[in-house]
Structure 1
Amino acid sequence: MSNLRQLFLQHVAQTSETPLMLEITSAEGMYLYDPEGKAYLDLIAGIGVSSLGHRHPAVVQAAKDQLDKYLHTIVYGEFVLAPQIQLAQLMAEHLPEPLDSVYFVNSGTEATEGAMKLAKRYTGRPKIVAARYAYHGSSQGAASLMWPTDFTQAYHPLLPGIEHIEFNEEEDLDKIDRHTAAVIVETVQAEWGIRRPTDTYLLRLKERCEDVGALLILDEIQAGYGRTGTLWAFQQYGIVPDILLLAKGMGGGMPIGAFVASRELMQVLSHNPILGHITTFGGHPVSCAAALATLQTLLSTDLIDQVKAKEQLFRELLDHPKIVDKRSAGLWMAVELPDFDFVQGVIRHCLANGLVTDWFLFNSHSLRIAPPLIINENQVKEACRIIIDGIERQK
């Protein structure tokens, strides 16, 4: 074991007893590289983050340019900073009305926390409804939304006033009532293994929220920024949320998140009391510059237009009798296999053969595929060849 790996285990706090322990010395485009120069094709984009691949030239240049101007100046929301303003303006231009006010944070978890506070403040109501098998973050507020409680029970009690519904079950919508401040769902359920809404579910959900005066929060922390084949996943379902959550692919590899609402909603955080929501590093100028370059690149290229064809190629090539099911939403796929041990065997085979993949928090028997949007046809074929070989080798 290298000295660096030993120090990693000794001094870097661990999140599991079995970390992958892949040592990375550089990254470029679709590939990560270890100390021996071995290339690893990244099939999960750092869990949905590196949507333009690693070190995209436009993102790197934007970050470098901003480094030459200024870094942190003061807590978010006090100074007029061009990277924040330019990014917020471009986002608003490509979001439907009334989503025109952006609050920048550092991560998806923080976006969830801000949205929960905004919903309670605006409505004056105590209850929040969330979907089972959804993941919105790991801080205490966001973790309170999680069901089942396998990952949270050790930290109870968490927030009160949380009620759960079954995603895609319209009969459950009666649980949303006039005590409900907001309903928060993922536009596409991620950690349950890529579960898309039915044709009518989000429409009925939005209608129920409007009927009782609750806000609809859509979590596109993983689904946004072209992952599903449109810039925002909700564009495919004929609705507009009251609050939109974004992060992961937003920054092109830099840490940033946001919750977006109308100015009418957002302004309630500015009074009674003032400083209703604050963050020191949210909207960091370098992260905003990188995020601006990321969005500009997605808007000026045909990468999003290519998503559906690449999705179809994955679906065609990942064909094997041991594959139980394939669920996808653009360049985002769950390949269901017989059981957890089978999935882990395939993941180990892939890693040994230069391919990085993973599983899902609430669906441990499915293989996660969510590559950078820049993946090309030959790389799709190579990834699928390695996966099929890994499946073939499992007993």
Structure 2
Amino acid sequence: MSIDLRRETKNDQDQKVSEYINKVLSLIEKEEVNKEEAAWITKETVDGFREHVNPGFLTYRKSVTKDGQFAAVEWSDNGACFKDVNGKEYIDCLGGFGIYNVGHRNPKVVKAVTDQLKRQALHSQDLLDPLRAMLAKILADITPGDLKYAFFTNSGTESVEAALKLAKMYSERTTFISTTRAFHGKSLGSLSGTAKGMFRKPFLPLIPGFRHVPFGDFDMMKKTFEVCAAVGEDVAAVILEPIQGEGGIILPPEGYLKQVRELCDEYGSLLIFDEVQTGMGRTGKMFAADLYNVVPDIICLAKAFGGGVMPAGAIVAREKVFKSWFPNPFMHTTTFGGNPLACAAAISTIGVLIEENLPERAGIVGEYFLKGLKEAAQGHEDKILEIRGQGLMIGIEFHKDEIGYEVSKGMFDRGILVAGTLINSKTIRIEPALTIGYEEVDMVISTFKEVLNLVKA
């Protein structure tokens, strides 16, 4: 093939790609799409997932939806709900795995990001960027105890990675204790703390030095500390979710977190709270650490930290711990962590949470929600093992996976999105926006009751 012919073929390909891009951008520009456009979007989405993203997603969607609803394509959102490309509205009780604490597309958060975007999107990396400094100060003011210095990330797993590296630099110890059913992310360091074998086995060996003990079993935690000290493998840190999210919404036994705090102090070890899912008002307090009156040495944040508008995360640590990074601030970096858009989103999100008193509201509405779900479940003890939760972080555990799948399908068919947890597939989660209205809560409860009556044990 001649150079001219190859150039002509390349030009034709570029022209096709350019035309496709322009069509996609024209659709993004529209507030609403017509039936023909919706059909095209759906076909392109399904074909794209099958051929270029991962066909496994389509297989999964078919397992949790009825008929052709696996091809539902989300297109717009607002408040506690989102709409698919055909205009059907869903109450979002999955909440992007807990990212929409201040609601979908909260106007104050969107405005802050848009205002920042008009002036500067990303920073040069070399000069001092003001919003990072201001957000760090805000975090020092609102986080528990004497947590003071912040490092910013883009996601939960990045926050956990940063916390683990900081803990290692602080003491040069290499042993970490995590717990069964824990979920801390899927990058290699955070995956070492995650508990589920299915996620771990393909990537073994992971980071050495991690030990897992049963969540809530303080005696086993204490014995593990004793053994580690005896064999010269002193514990650098314990990493815990104050309330386990992906593990199935597992609440800690009374006094457990305080006991672990005291144990860490006794052995000179750090306590890391992974509040990626429990933070930002989800449990009825700004942080679950406040709920249990325990101050960790490092707290990990993400998910709702960016207000459901920007990917954003952070760790906040005590000065004595964080100062390990003072001599060389380039020991751990990330290009986009703490960028101006993410910081604008996080600052505005914290403002909304405080001004609208959403953490307290989550506690009140969550109690109402939990009571209603339990009442709806009466008479279905052969299907439901337990309904539990704190604030608007609720888990419904079934006796069998199959029942959970059928309930999820039935609720989705009726316009309510719920889903199982990653570690415990028998449990479906309820994690709506903290702004969800009582009318929407009542609709979820009544739909749950209706679906339960149809599902066989």
Compute the TM-score of the two structures, normalised by the length of structure 1: 0.95
Deviation of the 1:274 alpha carbon: 5.5
Query: Is the aligned partner of 1:225 residue 2:280?
Result: yes
Deviation of the 1:217 alpha carbon: 0.2
Query: Is the aligned partner of 1:27 residue 2:82?
Result: no
**1:52 corresponding residue in structure 2:** 102
Moved more, 5-14 or 188-197: 5-14
Query: Is the aligned partner of 1:120 residue 2:168?
Result: yes
Identity %: 33
Is the 1:50–1:252 Cα contact (8 Å) retained in structure 2?
yes
1:374–1:342 distance in 2 versus 1, CA, 3 Å: same
Deviation of the 1:324 alpha carbon: 2.0
**1:372 corresponding residue in structure 2:** 433
Q: State the 4+ residue runs in structure 1 displaced beyond 3 angstroms.
A: 13-17
**Structure 2: which amino acid aligns with 1:317?**
G
Q: What is the alpha-carbon distance in structure 1 between the residues aligned to residue 338 and residue 450 of structure 2?
A: 44
**Structure 1: which amino acid aligns with 2:44?**
N
Q: What is the alpha-carbon distance in structure 1 between the residues aligned to residue 411 and residue 354 of structure 2?
A: 33
Deviation by residue 1:148-192 (Cα, 9 ceiling, x = unmatched): 412210111111111111111111122124411111010111122
**2:257 corresponding residue in structure 1:** 202
Deviation of the 1:139 alpha carbon: 0.5
Query: Is the aligned partner of 1:264 residue 2:320?
Result: yes
Q: What is the alpha-carbon distance in structure 2 between the residues aligned to residue 300 and residue 15 of structure 1?
A: 42
Deviation of the 1:309 alpha carbon: 2.2
Q: What is the alpha-carbon distance in structure 1 between the residues aligned to residue 437 and residue 213 of structure 2?
A: 39
Query: Is the aligned partner of 1:138 residue 2:186?
Result: yes
**2:334 corresponding residue in structure 1:** 279
1:305–1:154 distance in 2 versus 1, CA, 3 Å: same
* Secondary structure of the structure 2 residue equivalent to 1:100: strand
* Secondary structure of the structure 1 residue equivalent to 2:425: strand
Deviation of the 1:252 alpha carbon: 0.7
Deviation of the 1:338 alpha carbon: 2.4
Question: Highest Rg: 1 or 2?
Answer: 2
Moved more, 197-206 or 132-141: 197-206
**2:368 corresponding residue in structure 1:** 313
Q: What is the alpha-carbon distance in structure 2 between the residues aligned to residue 357 and residue 342 of structure 1?
A: 13
Query: Is the aligned partner of 1:175 residue 2:224?
Result: yes
Deviation of the 1:284 alpha carbon: 1.5
How many residues in Structure 1 have an aligned counterpart in Structure 2?
A: 392
**Structure 1: which amino acid aligns with 2:199?**
F
1:342-357 equivalences in 2 (<5 Å): 342-357=403-418
* Secondary structure of the structure 1 residue equivalent to 2:121: coil
Deviation of the 1:21 alpha carbon: 4.0
**2:12 corresponding residue in structure 1:** none
Deviation by residue 1:47-83 (Cα, 9 ceiling, x = unmatched): 10011111101000000000011112234xx432222
**1:325 corresponding residue in structure 2:** 386
1:59-70 equivalences in 2 (<5 Å): 59-70=109-120
**1:385 corresponding residue in structure 2:** 446
**2:269 corresponding residue in structure 1:** 214
For the aligned residue pairs, the C-alpha RMSD in angstroms reads: 1.5
Query: Is the aligned partner of 1:246 residue 2:301?
Result: yes
Q: What is the alpha-carbon distance in structure 2 between the residues aligned to residue 13 and residue 141 of structure 1?
A: 25
Moved more, 142-151 or 336-345: 142-151
Q: What is the alpha-carbon distance in structure 2 between the residues aligned to residue 2 and residue 348 of structure 1?
A: 22
**1:40 corresponding residue in structure 2:** 90
Moved more, 85-94 or 63-72: 85-94
Is the 1:270–1:276 Cα contact (8 Å) retained in structure 2?
no
Deviation by residue 1:72-101 (Cα, 9 ceiling, x = unmatched): 2234xx432222122111111112332010
Q: What is the alpha-carbon distance in structure 2 between the residues aligned to residue 391 and residue 110 of structure 1?
A: 39
Is the 2:237–2:270 Cα contact (8 Å) retained in structure 1?
yes
Moved more, 330-339 or 313-322: 313-322
Query: Is the aligned partner of 1:153 residue 2:201?
Result: yes
Deviation of the 1:344 alpha carbon: 0.7
User: Out of 224, 232, 235, which is 2:290 matched to?
Assistant: 235
Q: What is the alpha-carbon distance in structure 2 between the residues aligned to residue 18 and residue 359 of structure 1?
A: 12
**Structure 2: which amino acid aligns with 1:2?**
K
**Structure 1: which amino acid aligns with 2:52?**
H
Is the 1:33–1:39 Cα contact (8 Å) retained in structure 2?
yes
Higher helix share: 2
Q: What is the alpha-carbon distance in structure 2 between the residues aligned to residue 14 and residue 278 of structure 1?
A: 34
**Which structure 2 segments of 5+ residues have no match?**
1-41, 62-69
1:147–1:39 distance in 2 versus 1, CA, 3 Å: same
Q: What is the alpha-carbon distance in structure 1 between the residues aligned to residue 56 and residue 138 of structure 2?
A: 36
**Structure 1: which amino acid aligns with 2:450?**
D
Q: What is the alpha-carbon distance in structure 1 between the residues aligned to residue 182 and residue 164 of structure 2?
A: 15
* Secondary structure of the structure 2 residue equivalent to 1:326: strand
Is the 1:224–1:232 Cα contact (8 Å) retained in structure 2?
yes
Is the 1:74–1:280 Cα contact (8 Å) retained in structure 2?
no
Compute the TM-score of the two structures, normalised by the length of structure 2: 0.83
**Structure 1: which amino acid aligns with 2:212?**
H
Moved more, 383-392 or 250-259: 383-392
Deviation by residue 1:361-386 (Cα, 9 ceiling, x = unmatched): 22211121010000011000001111
Q: What is the alpha-carbon distance in structure 1 between the residues aligned to residue 329 and residue 142 of structure 2?
A: 30
